[in-house]
């Protein structure tokens, strides 16, 4: 019998060591255990809410497609006053 994949964070030997210390967020109602806590998630709802609060727009990276799969997803953020060119 195979174990059902719950979509959680992968913590095997190939995973980033930083995930070992991150708090997993599975719901939009989850909050950090303490200020400055590293958070990690694979929840589409959590990612979507986080991005929407920051006016980020989803985009794909050209050339990373595989057949019908879109490839690498990125988030594009609006320019900020500090990041805008003066020209």
Tens of pLDDT, residue by residue over 38-53, are 999 999 999 999 999 9
Residue length of the chain:
87
Closest CA relative to residue 23, chosen from 32, 14, 36, 15: 32
Cβ–Cβ < 8 Å for 52, 16: no
Cβ–Cβ < 8 Å for 51, 73: no
- As a whole number, the mean pLDDT across the chain is 83
Kindly report whether the global pTM for this prediction surpasses the value 0.75. Answer: no
């Amino acid at each position: 019998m195979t174990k059902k994949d719950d979509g959680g964070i992968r913590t095997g030997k190939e995973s980033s060591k930083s995930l070992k210390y991150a708090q997993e967020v599975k719901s939009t109602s989850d909050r950090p255990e303490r200020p400055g806590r590293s958070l990690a998630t694979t929840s589409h709802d959590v990612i979507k809410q986080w991005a929407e609060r920051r006016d980020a727009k989803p985009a794909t990276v050209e050339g990373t497609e595989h057949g019908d799969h879109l490839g690498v997803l990125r988030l594009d953020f609006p320019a900020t006053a500090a990041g805008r060119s003066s020209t």
